A and B are shown apart, each in its own frame.
Chain A
Amino acid sequence: MSGQSRQPEIVVDQAKWEWSELYKKEDWWAIWLGIIILIVGLIIFLPRPPADMDQKIAQAQRTMQAEDARAPFHTLEWHRANDSFSGLRARNESHGKTIAKWLATPARWASNPMEALILTEARAAEIREGAKEKHAAAQEKTKAALAQAEADQAAAANAAFQNTELNKKAEGSISQWRSARSAESRARSQTGTQAYNKIPYLFGIGVIFMLFFAAGTTVMNINTANFIKGFGFVFLLAIISEIIGANSTLRSWGFGPLIWAILGGMLIANTIGTPQFIKDAAQTEYFIKTGLVLLGAEILFGKILAIGLPGIFVAWVVTPTVLVLTYIFGQKVLKMESKTLNITVSSDMCVCGVSAAIATAAACRATKEELTIAIGMSMLFTAIMMIALPTFIVSVGMHPVLGGAWIGGTIDSTGAVVAAGAFLGETGMFVAATIKMIQNIMIGAIAFGVAVYWCAKVDCVEGQTVKKMEIWYRFPKFVLGFIAASVVFSIMIEAMGARGDVMLDQGVLRGFSRPCREWFFILAFASIGLTSNFREMAKHFTGGKPVILYVCGQSLNLALTLLMAYIMFFLVFPDITASL
């Protein structure tokens, strides 16, 4: 253990292999810790399925398939069956709810930030009382909408679903019933508001994470005593950032906790300064890489089949094309000094914002300042596009499937894509969300490709030929854990079929590894802020090159995505478009 454990700007692997790396390097520790979390998740969730899961799945699937064959639109029966399937979630079982309580971040608030941590019984009763009237009104609306939908569907069924007008009317009424039902569900949840105090859970999870990561520091070149002392401050900054990001206005704009963690940390580091013992706990790479291994498990290849060939073309052909062209543009035209900044900005702009930036930056060993620049620009432009794109689409009367595909392929973050897609109606939102999901799956391939390219072509003397073993020496090993988690979970979920959705997707992943991964990322971003330097960052903005790169790349992305979406959804696969 060394007292001289200043965190390096980038992770530097020695160009040789030593077996001790397996327990001395943070890349491998990230893999081991990630594997531990995933195995614990499997042990907790797999033996405890929801009651009668198989029968309920089989019943829902039978009904949905029969309804798909009966009517050219999603009938009331189809929706009910789909709701019963979607309601089957391993994380809704008692053990899942306990884990959720422990891993929960601060709650949403509008005017009083203390409500993010504590809700008194008196205030909870006030919310419940205020919601009662709203709930009763919502119930009435749902009842009326359901009666209308039943009548319109019966009329369409009487015409054997052959009358286009009647089908369209029934579909519209069903859609209105769905909206009314969602509003009722939201109102109902408010009538059940319970008092809470999140502080003991946050304290507990802070201690658990501290011990979890401290285990690795005992053998790595990190001062364990300082890590334990400083971790509390890093965790506190993470909680404060979560509280700010939980503000309802900021949630609507998409300015989440990550950006507040960076800004808050930078503000401290560049004004009063970050003490050394906190810097020793601000282990950006260690937290990020562990989080990335967990992110790998969420990259499920079966998801790309969700929208078939048109979706695959829009997400998997346009995205890498734009990525490569933007990178070349940055190098050849803008002559960007930093290749790592160039690829990080290019990847966050055309793949999926923050998560792609994190994965790419770690794969090519970009600096903290470069990652901060990429994420800051991504969040700013996402907020702008979330407003501008759907407004434009609706004003020109674009088809919701085309508009949804355009939004899904170009706006950076999933939340903003869903928010923008909702402006186009249910179909537009579902197409947008699905395209974005397929694009998200690309992160693994992009990170792997960037890691190999950097080892073989960038991190070497010009003209030098790099041997295969040299690539292995230089390769960021955590990427192996990231890819392995993705492959293993993709295979498992495909092998389990619909049970995989319930037990893995809606259990191990969304119920356990994802909340852990979110905590690790917020710790990483608080660490980035606490160890970043404004001057370093300002250097990269000389001539505004990162902004020009983002704007030019995004313009190309907008043009190519729209063109490909039009070709795929209207010229090559019009039948799919008609049936969505």
Chain B
Amino acid sequence: MSEKKTLAGIAKLIMGVAGFWIAVALVLPWMQTLPVIRPVMDIIIAADLDANQYFYTQSEETFTAQSHMRSGIRRSEQ
């Protein structure tokens, strides 16, 4: 790669990182304050929930939910 191309690549990389930073540090926190979004975010933050989890074994809530549901079904059968 020529020096010119390398410099252009580095400049693009810095711009990309800056774009990510703006999204993470400015745009998303601002969006959390919007009236439509805030109530849901308040609950997520207060309950310390992790919306990142993409499979049920990552979530303790699914384990707890399982016994609650089984008990509910058991009661409906009685």
Q: Which residues of A contact B (CB under 8 A)?
A: 64-65, 68-69, 72, 74, 78, 82, 85-86, 182-183, 186, 244-245, 247-258, 260, 263, 267-268, 270-273, 295, 298, 303, 305-308, 311, 352-355, 383, 386-387, 390-391, 412-416, 418-420, 422-423, 429-431, 433-434, 436-437, 440, 501, 505-506, 509-510, 514, 518, 573, 575-576, 578-580
Among B29, B58, B70, the most chain A Cβ lie within 10 Å of the Cβ of: B58
The answer to whether A433 and B62 touch across the interface, beta carbons within 8 angstroms, is yes
Q: Roughly how many angstroms separate A253 CA and B45 CA in the complex, as a whole number?
A: 10
The DSSP consensus for interface residues of chain A is helix
Q: Which residues of B contact A69 (CB under 8 A)?
A: 78
Q: Which residues of B contact A308 (CB under 8 A)?
A: 69, 73
**Cβ distance B59 to chain A, nearest Cβ, rounded Å:** 5
The answer to whether B66 and A387 touch across the interface, beta carbons within 8 angstroms, is no
Does B53 lie at the interface of the complex (its beta carbon under 8 Å from any beta carbon of A)? yes
Q: Roughly how many angstroms separate A579 CA and B40 CA in the complex, as a whole number?
A: 27
The DSSP consensus for interface residues of chain B is helix
Known contacts A252-B45, A272-B10, A391-B40; A430/B51 CB under 8 A? no
Known contacts A308-B73, A418-B59, A576-B72; A245/B52 CB under 8 A? yes
Does B44 lie at the interface of the complex (its beta carbon under 8 Å from any beta carbon of A)? yes
Q: Which residues of A contact B53 (CB under 8 A)?
A: 256, 413-415, 418
The answer to whether B51 and A386 touch across the interface, beta carbons within 8 angstroms, is yes
Q: List 14 A-B contacts (CB under 8 A).
A: A186-B48, A254-B52, A257-B52, A268-B13, A303-B66, A308-B73, A311-B69, A387-B36, A391-B40, A418-B49, A422-B49, A510-B57, A575-B76, A579-B75
Q: Which residues of B contact A353 (CB under 8 A)?
A: 54
The answer to whether A415 and B62 touch across the interface, beta carbons within 8 angstroms, is no
Q: Which residues of A contact B72 (CB under 8 A)?
A: 576, 579-580
Q: Roughly how many angstroms separate A311 CA and B72 CA in the complex, as a whole number?
A: 13
Mark out the residues of chain B between 1 and 34 whose CB falls within 8 Å of any chain A CB in the assembled complex.
1, 6, 9-10, 12-13, 16-17, 20, 24, 28-29, 32
B interface bracket (residues with beta carbon within 8 Å of A): 35 or more
Q: Roughly how many angstroms separate A182 CA and B76 CA in the complex, as a whole number?
A: 27
Q: Roughly how many angstroms separate A482 CA and B61 CA in the complex, as a whole number?
A: 25
The answer to whether A271 and B65 touch across the interface, beta carbons within 8 angstroms, is no
Closest to B11 in A: A271
The answer to whether A391 and B36 touch across the interface, beta carbons within 8 angstroms, is yes
The answer to whether A437 and B67 touch across the interface, beta carbons within 8 angstroms, is no
- Beyond the given pairs A82-B68, A579-B75, 16 more chain A to chain B contacts, judged by CB atoms under 8 angstroms and listed by A's residue number, are A68-B71, A69-B78, A72-B75, A183-B46, A244-B24, A245-B52, A251-B50, A271-B9, A272-B6, A387-B37, A414-B62, A418-B59, A419-B40, A419-B51, A501-B63, A505-B63
Q: Roughly how many angstroms separate A306 CA and B66 CA in the complex, as a whole number?
A: 6
**Cβ distance B63 to chain A, nearest Cβ, rounded Å:** 7
The answer to whether B67 and A85 touch across the interface, beta carbons within 8 angstroms, is yes
Known contacts A64-B71, A434-B66, A580-B69; A387/B51 CB under 8 A? no
The answer to whether A434 and B75 touch across the interface, beta carbons within 8 angstroms, is no
Closest to B66 in A: A306
Known contacts A434-B69, A579-B73; A390/B51 CB under 8 A? no
The answer to whether A252 and B32 touch across the interface, beta carbons within 8 angstroms, is yes
**Cβ distance A267 to chain B, nearest Cβ, rounded Å:** 4
The answer to whether B71 and A354 touch across the interface, beta carbons within 8 angstroms, is no
The answer to whether A430 and B68 touch across the interface, beta carbons within 8 angstroms, is yes
The answer to whether A430 and B64 touch across the interface, beta carbons within 8 angstroms, is yes
**Cβ distance A343 to chain B, nearest Cβ, rounded Å:** 19
Q: Which residues of B contact A430 (CB under 8 A)?
A: 61, 64-65, 68-69
